[in-house]
């Protein structure tokens, strides 16, 4: 039988994707163009309720797990493909981060049904991927995959002042759930949240590795003294030392850029932060990310030796606290190749790229073959009410997943 060419962006497909997008649209709307749908709040519950309704309207089964993640499925058999992302958002965030991946999964279910195929698929919606509510990310997917770095999550406190353990108790969830079973392969579509695809005019990114973040607090300690009475050569100004350290960290990042590493000081706390007092103590929050462990190691060591040198020169002391370290996580090579071959066949311009941001896919890489796809978002803007991606680009990513699964399941 001759293969019919695949029509991208048919009127019917676009209308279905728009129907899905509109279903979620109003939930958590802030009235100023953005949405706030924090993890493990009632607004996030509402998103999952919409997801359940979509599942029922379209004749699929709906499941939930021990941590409140939910799934819309076309089969209850073990050994299924999981296409998933999250339904929470940051404060005043956009409508595409997370939701785009859930819509892509629902599109795949729609095509499977329309074409009378029997590919077992579950579309998953994970809880609390963003760190905005508890200061911890990928909670729902991390718990259900029993990721080790999620062990201490119960003590995390929400914006409303409750611990995750208290919230779980109220809701009847478990902080030690049984590990998810039966996943053959995990696929996630996400907006890129950067501008690489847009700059290169490409429609799809196939992620090779998700960068591992290392995060630190650097404490620089000097002497708080009267800013008028202390001569310039008798000072131990912690903020001036910290300023040198900040630019040094920037140069360290620049020197490692060929390894695709980045280094950022995103937090600065100055004590006592008064106009007439020489700063006595400064805390810097440092975020280092990369896909190459050696490069991350070099950046961490250089930060330490440079800070030591700068502090010695200025009569300051310092110590560093490591707050978190997640290793770079590789996506399945076979799936990258398989998805790339489909994109090529469908003439969708694509590239293999790294992900600087963390995603739910990180949680699955240890338990099954895992893939992460990016679609472009306007000017790379994300975690912002101006975030925008086109419905067509969601359909592009979804059709690549669908065609890939068709090939896998033959
Ligand atoms: Zn996201």
Final residue of a structural domain among 263, 296, 325: 325
Say yes or no: 279 and 366 in one domain: no
* pLDDT exceeds cutoff 60 at 3: no
326 pLDDT band, cuts 50/70/90, is confident
Rounded Cα gap, residues 257 and 245, in angstroms: 18
Q: Looking at the 3D structure of the chain, how many domains does it have?
A: 2
Look-up of token digits 């068709």: 406
Question: What pLDDT does residue 136 have?
Answer: 85
Q: Which of 5-9, 168-172, 242-246, 298-302 has the lowest mean pLDDT?
A: 5-9
Say yes or no: 46 and 149 in one domain: yes
Contact status, residue 246 vs residue 306, Cβ threshold 8 Å: no
Say yes or no: 227 and 187 in one domain: no
Say yes or no: 200 and 221 in one domain: no
Each residue of 11-57: pLDDT tens digit? 999 999 999 999 999 999 999 999 999 999 999 999 999 999 999 99
Instruction: Please report which residue ranges of 151-261 form alpha helices under DSSP H.
Output: 164-171, 196-200, 238-255
* pLDDT, averaged across the chain: 95
* pLDDT exceeds cutoff 90 at 306: yes
Look-up of token digits 């995103």: 266
3-state secondary structure of 233: helix
Rounded to the nearest angstrom, the distance between the alpha carbon of 377 and the centre of ligand 1 is 12
Rounded to the nearest angstrom, the distance between the alpha carbon of 192 and the centre of ligand 1 is 9
Rounded to the nearest angstrom, the distance between the alpha carbon of 88 and the centre of ligand 1 is 8
Question: What pLDDT does residue 2 have?
Answer: 46
Question: What pLDDT does residue 77 have?
Answer: 85
Say yes or no: 333 and 319 in one domain: no
Final residue of a structural domain among 310, 325, 340: 325
Contact status, residue 354 vs residue 211, Cβ threshold 8 Å: yes
Domain for residue 389, yes or no?
yes
Rounded to the nearest angstrom, the distance between the alpha carbon of 359 and the centre of ligand 1 is 6
Say yes or no: 126 and 202 in one domain: yes
6 pLDDT band, cuts 50/70/90, is confident
Give how far Cα 154 sits from Cα of 45, 174, 341, Å: 19, 10, 42
Specify the CATH number for the domain of residue 110: 3.40.630.10
Domain for residue 303, yes or no?
yes
Q: Which of 97-111, 151-165, 183-197, 285-299 has the lowest mean pLDDT?
A: 151-165
Average pLDDT for 336-365:
96
Question: What pLDDT does residue 150 have?
Answer: 61
Question: What pLDDT does residue 156 have?
Answer: 92
323 pLDDT band, cuts 50/70/90, is confident
Specify the CATH number for the domain of residue 279: 3.30.70.360
Rounded to the nearest angstrom, the distance between the alpha carbon of 395 and the centre of ligand 1 is 18
Each residue of 136-186: pLDDT tens digit? 889 999 999 998 666 679 999 999 999 999 999 999 999 999 999 999 999
1 pLDDT band, cuts 50/70/90, is very low
Domain for residue 333, yes or no?
yes
Question: What pLDDT does residue 206 have?
Answer: 98
* pLDDT exceeds cutoff 50 at 274: yes
Q: Which residues contact 38 (CB under 8 A, 6 or more apart)?
A: 44, 88, 89, 91, 128, 130, 132, 133, 158, 159
Say yes or no: 266 and 368 in one domain: no
3-state secondary structure of 201: coil
Rounded to the nearest angstrom, the distance between the alpha carbon of 227 and the centre of ligand 1 is 46
Q: What is the pTM of this model?
A: 0.88
Domain for residue 5, yes or no?
no
Rounded to the nearest angstrom, the distance between the alpha carbon of 130 and the centre of ligand 1 is 7
Say yes or no: 107 and 117 in one domain: yes
Rounded to the nearest angstrom, the distance between the alpha carbon of 272 and the centre of ligand 1 is 36
Rounded to the nearest angstrom, the distance between the alpha carbon of 310 and the centre of ligand 1 is 38
Say yes or no: 67 and 206 in one domain: yes
Domain for residue 402, yes or no?
yes
Rounded to the nearest angstrom, the distance between the alpha carbon of 338 and the centre of ligand 1 is 24
Domain for residue 4, yes or no?
no
Rounded to the nearest angstrom, the distance between the alpha carbon of 140 and the centre of ligand 1 is 13
Final residue of a structural domain among 260, 292, 325: 325
Domain for residue 3, yes or no?
no
Rounded to the nearest angstrom, the distance between the alpha carbon of 341 and the centre of ligand 1 is 26
Say yes or no: 391 and 347 in one domain: yes
Range of the domain at 361: 11-211+328-408
Rounded to the nearest angstrom, the distance between the alpha carbon of 382 and the centre of ligand 1 is 9
Contact status, residue 220 vs residue 282, Cβ threshold 8 Å: yes
Say yes or no: 22 and 157 in one domain: yes
Domain for residue 1, yes or no?
no
Say yes or no: 155 and 184 in one domain: yes
């Amino acid at each position: 039988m001759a293969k019919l060419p695949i029509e991208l962006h048919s009127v019917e497909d676009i209308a279905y994707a728009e129907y899905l997008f509109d279903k979620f649209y109003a939930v958590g709307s802030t009235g100023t163009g953005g949405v706030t749908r924090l993890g493990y709040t009632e607004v996030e519950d509402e998103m999952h309720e919409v997801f359940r309704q979509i599942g029922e309207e379209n004749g699929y089964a709906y499941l939930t797990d021990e941590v409140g993640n939910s799934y819309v499925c076309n089969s209850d058999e073990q050994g299924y493909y999981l296409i998933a992302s999250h339904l929470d958002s940051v404060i005043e965030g956009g409508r595409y981060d997370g939701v785009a991946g859930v819509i892509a999964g629902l599109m795949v279910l729609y095509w499977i049904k329309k074409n009378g195929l029997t590919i077992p698929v579950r579309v998953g919606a994970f809880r609390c991927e963003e760190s905005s509510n508890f200061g911890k990310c990928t909670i729902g997917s991390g718990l259900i995959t029993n990721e080790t770095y999620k062990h201490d999550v119960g003590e995390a406190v929400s914006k409303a002042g409750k611990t995750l353990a208290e919230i779980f108790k109220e809701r009847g969830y478990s902080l030690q759930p049984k590990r998810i079973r039966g996943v053959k392969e995990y696929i996630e579509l996400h907006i890129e949240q950067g501008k690489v695809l847009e700059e290169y005019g490409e429609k799809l990114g196939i992620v090779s590795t998700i960068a591992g973040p290392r995060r630190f607090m650097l404490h620089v300690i000097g002497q708080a003294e009267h800013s008028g009475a202390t001569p310039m050569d008798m000072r131990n100004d912690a903020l001036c030392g910290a300023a040198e350290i900040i630019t040094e960290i920037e140069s360290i990042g620049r020197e490692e850029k060929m390894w695709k590493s980045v280094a950022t000081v995103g937090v600065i706390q100055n004590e006592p932060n008064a106009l007439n007092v020489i700063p006595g103590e400064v805390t810097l929050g440092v975020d280092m990310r990369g896909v190459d462990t050696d490069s991350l190691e070099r950046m961490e060591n250089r930060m330490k030796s440079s800070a030591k040198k700068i502090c010695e020169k200025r009569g300051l002391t310092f110590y560093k606290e490591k707050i978190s370290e997640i290793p770079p996580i590789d996506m399945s090579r076979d799936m990258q190749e398989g998805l790339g071959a489909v994109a090529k066949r469908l003439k969708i311009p694509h590239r293999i790229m790294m992900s600087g941001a963390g995603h739910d896919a990180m949680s699955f890489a240890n338990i099954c073959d895992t893939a992460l796809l990016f679609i472009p978002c306007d000017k790379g803007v994300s975690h912002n009410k101006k975030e925008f991606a086109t419905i067509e680009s969601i359909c592009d990513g979804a059709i690549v997943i669908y065609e890939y699964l068709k090939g896998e399941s033959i």
